[in-house]
Chains A and B, each alone.
Chain A
Amino acid sequence: MAHAGHHDDHAHGPPKGIVRWLTTTNHKDIGTMYLVFSLTMFLIGGAFAFMIRAELFEPGLQLLNPAVFNQMTTMHALVMVFGAVMPATVGLANWMIPMQIGAADMALPRMNLFSFWLLAFAFLLLLSTFLMPGGAPASGWTLYPPLVLQTGEAFPMAVFAIHLMGASSIMGAINVIVTIVNMRAPGMTLLKMPLFSWSWLITAYLLIAVMPVFAGGVTMLLTDYFFKTSFFNAAGGGDPVLFQHVFWFFGHPEVYIMILPAFGIVSEVISTFSRKPIFGYEAMVYAIASIAFLSFIVWAHHMFTVGMPLAGQLFFTLSTMLIAVPTGVKIFNWTATMWRGSISFEPPMLFVLAFLFLFTIGGFSGLMMAIVPSDFQYHDTYFIVAHFHYVLVPGAVFAIMAAVYYWLPKWTGHMYDMRLAKWHFWLSAIFVNVLFFPQHFLGLAGMPRRIPDYAVQFTDWNMVSSIGAFGFGLSQLLFIWLIVKCVRGGERATAGVWDWPHGLEWTVPSPAPYHTFEKAPEVH
């Protein structure tokens, strides 16, 4: 369908050493930095989760006092959402979008570097709050007032960190949009674009739409805290629930900001390893767009217990249920892509197949929670914890791992250790269920979320869940070892890498040269 243009020989290599990484404006280097950053945050956030599950292994307080436990849950979420999942998809976007659409680089390379370093410093600031009097934020990542206003000196630091992350995300999003809109190779019409790039184009619009809302919300918290503005203080004429509306107007699209790129990855991988073009390509694009649109009108389903008017509850129940339709279309189209295909089970495909099953389980629990009367029971219990971890871990995170296994040979020029990758997959896929499935039971049986200690009848399933957590966490060390091994050497990868490569990224050699598509390829 396409062929790479002739590569000019004057392409210069990167500067050597640390200077390369501090000053680079190359989309591949910045992509790598994002991915390494994300992996680091995944380990830090994972360490917090490790402590949470260790404390919850049995009833009674053994390791953490309740205040520190709350800091752990809060920071685990902030680090995983803003530090691990989002930067990973940004890293993938940086690496792959220019190569998928036949562009030489991202449209705004300096801003690209700026947005990376803003993010790095935002997290330095956020993580440093552990050293401040009063400790890190402990109000949950949702930062609900009035509780969040009881945070100690960490409060302004956390807010500024969020501002920096938001600015970084917005710049990243602008870059993606400008790149895709302006820099597609001749013949690469929008409806010929690979689905990963499509999913990111839509994600970028979501980011630009909601990040400022979040920034506004936390700024109002800041002025409530320091200047007594009473936006969220009932005694001053404000409304604490207003913050929840603002937060979730950002927060729900945020959920899709994490999952839409994953949808893109799944589409790419499933097609490659079924050796068949994606089924219903246009429907897939429209489904992503509909999900993105619906994400703006469902936010209050996170707040069914705040005492909304009946009409409000009905509206948000019905709009939320609608999301199941385009999501269903995606699941069915992926299944149809496999149908009458020629399927093989390389590591990326294994992770994607696990995604199909486990993300769908998360979808089912999501549908159950859309129904308000039963949500009165599910709300703020371990049932919701199980739900969002199913869509985020075997959902978004597995898709990101699939992407790494899919493109790693293209990035490093080496094949990785397939046996090790399969071990990583099977251990992750088993332990993630041991970890999260029992949490459905705990929630239904009545265990609230965000508690450091629990009544003794919840002991058994908490133990199972903790064992799953330790197993899942340790399995990820295989992933890191595998990546390090692959970067350092291995069997040479061909340009196409896989049996049935499709798309421009597979037309350039592996590893991808420092500069690709300096002369735009022609797409027919």
Chain B
Amino acid sequence: MHIASRFQMRSVVAGILASLASLPARADWSLINMPEGVSELSREIHGMHMIMLWICLVIAFFTFGAMVVAMTRFRKSKGAVSDLKMLHNARLEAAWTIVPVIILIVMAIPSVEKLVKIEDTSGSGLTIKVTGHQWYWQYEYLGTGVKFYSRLARSSDLARQKGSGIDPRTVEHYLLDVDKPLVIPTGVKVRMLLTANDVIHAWWVPQFGMKRDAIPGFINEMWISVDADKPGTYRGQCAELCGADHGFMPIVVVAKPKAEFDAWLLNQKQVATALAATEQ
């Protein structure tokens, strides 16, 4: 009876595993791992992540291995008799206290080094002030008079209403699209100043490797520098719970080559001046 129930259990487990295995077959790496991203910083962060992951996997191999060996070798059902004198072992215990400390030091050194670099916002070529609002973003190119709001795109907004009847799968970049994206130059260190108007938000584009809180009454700093050869559109979301529509204030950044960006900014300046003139 025992063998039968064990067999039953195994076939149930196998069935579940088989059905699960078919799912990741459809997934690609970008859906299960951190993106490498498009800047030196994001690649370093990704590198740290991968190093940590591998170190953890190696430690897991040994720790779980020891547990599995213990569980299989020292079974009562196999006639194992417990060794009541094995109460402690000073050398062994010292070893598994000291070895982890060494591993941790090895992990800590590169992370400290990278952190120092991440926090250094000096030498930037452009400063953009980002203000979080419930529930949209505002971007201001400091010293140029160019500023605008960036909200969830209309198509996503319609589809996301409860009972809209629109299948999100038919909406392009569902929940990751805005009416007016932030535009930045590639190959330039862009300093971002983050603040908020009402509650705390967080500005995050995974491809840039960084996120930072936008806090009302305070100004936070971070920098991004998209590789010169990687212009493109990059998408992210607010990453700090900010109320009902927290899930509906995406971030879209268009990175353009320096020359194209300059032309765009000039155009925006003219629009802003014209707008200011009509308002007077």
Instruction: Please list the residues of chain A having a beta carbon within 8 angstroms of any beta carbon in chain B.
Output: 59-62, 65-67, 70, 138-140, 144, 146-147, 150, 233-235, 239-241, 274-277, 279-283, 305-307, 310, 313-314, 317-318, 321-322, 324-325, 328-329, 331-333, 335-336, 338-344, 353, 356-357, 360-361, 364, 367-368, 371-374, 376-377, 379-381, 419, 426, 430, 434, 440-441, 444-446, 448-461, 464
Contact = CB atoms under 8 A, between A and B. Distances in A.
Contacts of B218: 234, 239-241, 307
17 contacts: A61-B162, A147-B242, A313-B115, A313-B119, A324-B100, A333-B93, A340-B80, A368-B49, A371-B52, A372-B111, A374-B49, A426-B13, A444-B32, A453-B160, A453-B175, A453-B247, A457-B31
Given A342-B75, A357-B64, 13 more contacts: A279-B87, A281-B88, A305-B212, A305-B240, A335-B63, A376-B209, A419-B5, A445-B34, A446-B206, A450-B246, A456-B168, A460-B26, A461-B32
A335 to B, nearest CB: 5
A62 B161 CA distance: 9
Q: Across chains A and B, which 6 residue pairs bring their CB atoms closest together, nearest first?
A: A234-B217, A451-B247, A307-B220, A441-B32, A340-B83, A338-B70
Nearest to A458: B31
Residue of B116, B161, B236, B247 most packed against chain A (CB within 10 A): B247
B204 A430 contact: no
A221 to B, nearest CB: 14
Contacts of B228: none
B105 to A, nearest CB: 9
Nearest to A431: B16
Nearest to A236: B217
B16 A430 contact: yes
Contact of B213 (A306, A451, A453): A306
Contacts of B34: 374, 377, 444-445
B167 A66 contact: no
A147 B241 contact: yes
Nearest to B240: A380
Contacts of B122: none
A307 B213 contact: yes
A150 B198 CA distance: 10
Contact of B83 (A147, A341, A448): A341
B9 interface: yes
Contact of B96 (A140, A329, A454): A329
B33 A445 contact: yes
B83 A276 contact: yes
A310 B116 contact: yes
A455 to B, nearest CB: 5
A281 B56 contact: no
B243 interface: yes
B126 interface: no
A453 B244 CA distance: 11
Given A306-B215, A343-B70, A368-B53, A446 B169 contact: no
A441 B20 CA distance: 14
Nearest to B215: A240
Interface of B: 5, 9, 13, 16, 20, 23, 26-27, 30-35, 44-45, 48-49, 52-53, 56, 59-60, 63-64, 66-67, 70-71, 74-77, 80-84, 86-89, 92-93, 96-97, 100-101, 104, 107-108, 111-112, 114-116, 118-119, 159-162, 164, 166-169, 173-176, 194, 198-200, 202, 204, 206, 209-213, 215-218, 220-221, 236-248
B37 to A, nearest CB: 9
Contacts of B80: 340-343
Nearest to B34: A444
Contact of A276 (B44, B82, B89, B236): B82
A367 B56 contact: yes
A305 B222 CA distance: 10
A307 B114 CA distance: 16
A343 B221 CA distance: 56
A341 B13 CA distance: 28
Contacts of A373: 44-45, 48, 111, 114-115, 118
A377 B20 contact: no
Nearest to A74: B241
Contacts of A454: 175, 247
A235 B202 CA distance: 20
Nearest to B50: A374
A279 B221 CA distance: 50
A234 B104 CA distance: 38
A135 to B, nearest CB: 11
B111 A344 contact: no
A39 B30 CA distance: 39
B90 to A, nearest CB: 9
A144 B115 contact: no
A461 B27 contact: yes
Contacts of A460: 23, 26-27, 31
Contacts of A377: 34, 45, 49, 206, 209-211
A455 B173 contact: yes
B239 A448 contact: yes
A322 B102 CA distance: 11
Contact of B52 (A322, A367, A419, A453): A367
Contact of A307 (B63, B166, B221): B221
Contact of B60 (A282, A321, A364, A376): A364
Given A339-B86, A445-B31, A146 B202 contact: no
Contacts of B108: 317-318, 321, 371
Contacts of A455: 173-176
Contacts of B244: 65-67, 70, 138
B67 A335 contact: yes
Nearest to B88: A280
A461 B248 CA distance: 20
Nearest to B238: A448
A461 B56 contact: no
Nearest to B112: A314
Nearest to A64: B162
A460 B22 CA distance: 11
A344 B71 CA distance: 9
A381 B211 CA distance: 11
Nearest to B159: A60
